[in-house]
Structure formats: C-alpha cells, structure tokens
Amino acid sequence: MRLLLDINVLLDVALQRPGAPASARLLSLCGRQHEGWLAWHSVATLAYLIERQQSAVSGRDFIRGMLGWADVAQTGRADALAALDLPMSDFEDALQVAAAMACGAQFVITRNERDFKNSPVPALNPEAFLRQYPLTPGP
C-alpha cells in the first residue's frame, strides 16, 4: 500500500516522542510491505528540527536512512495551488494532502487525524493503520 507519511510520524521516531513505538513499527514495514512517501517540504523541515534538537550530523543521518526506503512525492506549482483550494484550515496539512494525491497514496499517516477530516485522501494514525492492515506473512 502507498502511504504518505506526515512529518509528525517521522518526528516520533527521530526524537523518540511518545508515539515512537507504533510509528517505528510502521516505518519498518515501509520499503517491504508498504511504500513510504514523503512530501518534499517535510524533508527540509525534518532535517531542521532534528538538527535543532540533536545535531546536524543526526539530522542528515536520519534523512539519509529514511531516503533508503522512502520516496519523495514529485510536486510543483499546480500542486501548491491545489492545496490552497482544499477545504483544510492548515495549509501545511493541505500540502501533505497535495503530495499524497501527487504520488497516489491511499492514506496519509499522521498523528493529527482531526486536521485531515476534510482531506480527499483518508488519514489514519499509525496505531489505527497497523490494526486495520496487520503485517501479512511473506512467501
């Protein structure tokens, strides 16, 4: 399944926040059972936030590791304009949805489902996603 990962899920893991166990489990399935996708702006913001709380080396190492299994949605001007017209109050969340639509994601995985209630791409938190789509055994 193709999943657009909101930055808050990635920050759970990078900064060992309370949601880290479920977020880490979900991320471990990306590149194997699911496709993990990121919005371009999440990559820059994630690096900035990790660098501020840890170090530049930590930020770049996390990004490098993440880009080993995640892809970045190709978006541009038309996607940013489309995000402006989405019925969402938070523009950054609308940009996440525009990226999800651009890469054909079935879900946005976020800790902030409430702000995605008007999203054309359904949103689930990591725990709910893992409950609804448990690991399927490989061949």
User: d(Cα 56, Cα 70) in Å, to the nearest integer?
Assistant: 20
- Rounded Cα distance between 89 and 86, Å, is 9
Reported as a single tens digit per residue, the pLDDT across 28-80 is 999 889 999 999 999 999 999 999 999 999 999 999 999 999 999 999 999 99
Enter the DSSP assignment of 2.
Answer: E
Which of 92, 131, 98 shows the shortest CA–CA distance to 112?
Answer: 92
Top-tier CATH class for 2-131: alpha beta
Residue-level pLDDT at 61: 95
Each residue's pLDDT tens digit, 68-114:
999 999 999 999 999 999 999 999 999 999 999 999 999 999 999 99
Using pLDDT thresholds of 50, 70 and 90, give the confidence band for residue 134. confident
* Domain extents in the chain: 2-131
In three-state secondary structure terms, 138 is coil
